[in-house]
Amino acid sequence: MERPSIAADAFDRPGVRVRTLANLRWIAIVGQFVTLVVVGLYLGYALRWPSLLAAVAASAILNIGLVTLYGRNDRLQGRDLVLHLGFDLVQAGVLLFLTGGLANPFAILLIVPVTIAATLLPARAMIVLGLLAVAVIAVQWFWALPLPWAHGTPPVFPQIYQVGVAVSLALAVGFLAIYLYIVSADARDRARALVATEAALTREAKMSALGSLAAAAAHELGGPLGTITLIAHSLAEQLGDDPDFGEDIRLLEAEARRSRNILVRIAKRAEAEDPFALLGLDVLLHEVAHSVAPARVPVTVVAPSPQPQVRRSPELLHGLSNLVSNAVRHAASNVELRATSTAGEISVAIRDDGAGFDPQLLPHLGEPDLGPSHSRAGGTGLGIFIATTLLERTGGRLAFRNRRDGGAEVELRWPRPHIEARE
């Protein structure tokens, strides 16, 4: 019971602005240079200055080229961003290689480019940078130069400790990359689904506003048209039998009367579609049932009178219509809307006699993106997410289940004060 997903181009891995990447790299360059000055000059550690300054300078030159060749608002995506993050990873590896490798406390910074990639790049690119980070860690473990030391020979760490540092860094790279990738993907799915929800709600609001505008237009035009009708009637009485103008005058009177009747019908229809009108829950359910007509299967409403008055809001109408449309699509022969109410609660059950929900899918209904592999129909669950979001705005809570006698059921429950409208 899902609807197809909307286009996701605007929410794909977005890359990063050139200005943002350049600023981050300048921060890294300044940090590296200050660290070298403090450690080498202030603390007196022996450093390989030519090689270290060359590595820092290479990063600065690349950054100057970046801001020169690209506009400030250009974005780096795909392969270009992979190459830049890969350079940052290798450059950090070179600095560590020259200053003790994994024995250097700054080795933890190797995880930074990979974590950035996890939030900005597709999975394949993230994996490439992750493997590159593991390769840099391996080089540090086996071949890095000794840790610089101020006096005497630098300490020699046990082999088991070096193995532990290497494994911990590799695990940190993998764990943080996967964690950030999943979290950012979930955030993008939710943002995409919420945009679809807002679009649906805006569409409903515009339709309601159009009805109100039609009612106002009918009211404003009623006066002038009434005057035209009165004059046309007077002319018809006086000149209706005139051989030259009689036929035109009778036609004018008939068209004026017809226009007035059209305005009356528009005003009545707009008033009936007023989103702020108070309706009985049974009336609203009948409107929802008719909104999916012509339906593939009949939609019946079971709502014993009297039912409480509810406010005809766009959220309520669109959310219920979405669920009923999904039920109609999967039903075998019938869809039923059943309303019940107690002193403290109002509920609506939407039941169909189809195959029911996929048991593996059932616990995840209401999530923004289930993925095509989770649905027999190839949907992504976006329709149910939209309906859930809209109905929860009205104070309702949804429960999805399979019926014992076959078919699916969606039950909505509201605390009575949240949905009941009083005059």
Q: What is the pLDDT of residue 137?
A: 94
Q: From CA 29, how far away is CA 109, in angstroms rounded?
A: 13
- Give the closest residue to 38 by CA, choosing from 106, 107, 103: 106
Q: What is the pLDDT of residue 255?
A: 80
Per DSSP, the three-state class of 134 is helix
Q: From CA 52, how far away is CA 46, in angstroms rounded?
A: 12
- Give the closest residue to 285 by CA, choosing from 347, 205, 209: 347
Report pLDDT digits (tens) over 279-329. Answer: 888 888 988 888 876 778 899 999 887 888 888 787 888 889 889 988 998
In a 13 Å sphere around the CA of 14, the CA atoms on its Cβ side amount to: 11
Q: Give yes or no for a cis peptide into 306 (omega within 30° of 0).
A: yes
Per DSSP, the three-state class of 83 is helix
> DSSP code of 73?
T
Q: From CA 129, how far away is CA 118, in angstroms rounded?
A: 9
Q: From CA 335, how far away is CA 297, in angstroms rounded?
A: 7
Residue with tokens 């009918």: 218
Main-chain dihedrals φ then ψ at residue 313, nearest 5 degrees: -95, 155
Q: From CA 258, how far away is CA 255, in angstroms rounded?
A: 5
Residue 400 forms beta bridges with which residues?
410
CB atoms within 10 A of CB 344: 8
Q: What is the pLDDT of residue 2?
A: 40
Per DSSP, the three-state class of 166 is helix
Q: Kindly tell me the burial class for residue 46, based on how many C-beta atoms sit within 10 Å of its own C-beta (0-12, 13-18, 19 or more).
A: exposed
Q: From CA 251, how far away is CA 257, in angstroms rounded?
A: 10
pTM of the complete model:
0.55
Q: What are the helix (H) ranges across 145-278?
A: 159-239, 246-272
Q: What is the pLDDT of residue 201?
A: 62
Q: What is the pLDDT of residue 241?
A: 75
Task: Specify the CATH superfamily of domain 278-419.
Answer: Histidine kinase-like ATPase, C-terminal domain (3.30.565.10)
Q: What is the pLDDT of residue 379?
A: 55
Report pLDDT digits (tens) over 28-54. Answer: 999 999 999 999 999 889 899 999 999
- Give the closest residue to 397 by CA, choosing from 409, 382, 385, 413: 413
Structure tokens at 214: 């039609």
Which residues neighbour 217 within 8 Å (Cβ) at sequence distance 6 or greater?
266
Q: From CA 145, how far away is CA 93, in angstroms rounded?
A: 12
- Give the closest residue to 399 by CA, choosing from 348, 326, 355, 343: 348
- Give the closest residue to 92 by CA, choosing from 81, 104, 80: 104
The residue ranges of every structural domain in the chain are 9-196, 198-272, 278-419
| Chain length of the chain | 423
Pairing state between β 408-415 and 345-352: antiparallel
Q: Which parts of the chain register pLDDT below 70?
A: 1-14, 190-223, 226, 263-277, 293, 368-380, 422-423
Max CA distance (Å), the chain: 126
Q: What is the pLDDT of residue 235?
A: 77
- Give the closest residue to 275 by CA, choosing from 364, 207, 222: 207
Long-range contacts of 156-163 (CB under 8 A, 24+ apart): 157/103, 162/102, 162/103
